[in-house]
Amino acid sequence: MTATEQEQREKVKKMVADARICMLTTMTEDHRHVSRPMALQEVEFDGDLWFFTYADSDLVQQINHFPQVNVSFSDPKQQNWISIAGAASQVENRAKAEELWNPLLKAWFPDGLETPNLTLVKVTAQTAEYWEAAHSSKVLTLFGYAKAAVTGKTPDAGENETVRL
């Protein structure tokens, strides 16, 4: 039985929320891909992902030139992987920043919401692809790979779906 699009969206939302830390990939002016770790602030999942950064950062400069980005999440504990393609933009919105702010962010933004050059980046997701392990146990997964190596049959690697957002 195939999951409906809404069920797939809900699955992506949960997987992203569980992972929380991602690699946000942008493109430089000389067309090199650059990835940096980012902490997700909110998953609205109509497909919007929100991040705090500095307005004068390379990240903001890059998305102003090339808004297409990739956001990838890895949750090795659950053995889930998510890759989200979308368009990023810088957003100056104090009310949204207040809504998203949490005290742990002071490690990167020491003056809180008053940190000079603090800004938001919004990624509007267009598609997501996810991989979910067939087994929640690493032992069972490794056993499946070993069995496949011996039998020559492809292992059950789990579920892989592409979701339009």
- Are the C-beta atoms of residues 67 and 119 closer than 8 Å to each other? no
The CATH code of the domain that includes 108 is 2.30.110.10
The parent domain of residue 98 ranges over 5-164
- Are the C-beta atoms of residues 22 and 35 closer than 8 Å to each other? no
**DSSP letter for each residue of 45-102:** SSSEEEEEEETTSHHHHHHHH--EEEEEEEETTTTEEEEEEEEEEEE--HHHHHHH--
The pLDDT profile of the chain, 165 residues, written as one tens digit per residue, is: 457 888 888 888 888 888 889 999 999 999 999 999 999 987 766 789 999 999 999 999 999 999 999 999 998 888 889 999 999 999 999 999 999 999 999 999 999 999 999 999 999 999 999 998 755 545 444 444 444 455 566 654 566 767 777
What is the reported pTM?
0.80
Say what the pLDDT of residue 140 is: 43
Total count of domains within the chain: 1
At a CB cut-off of 8 Å and minimum separation 6, what does 59 contact? 24, 26, 36, 53, 121
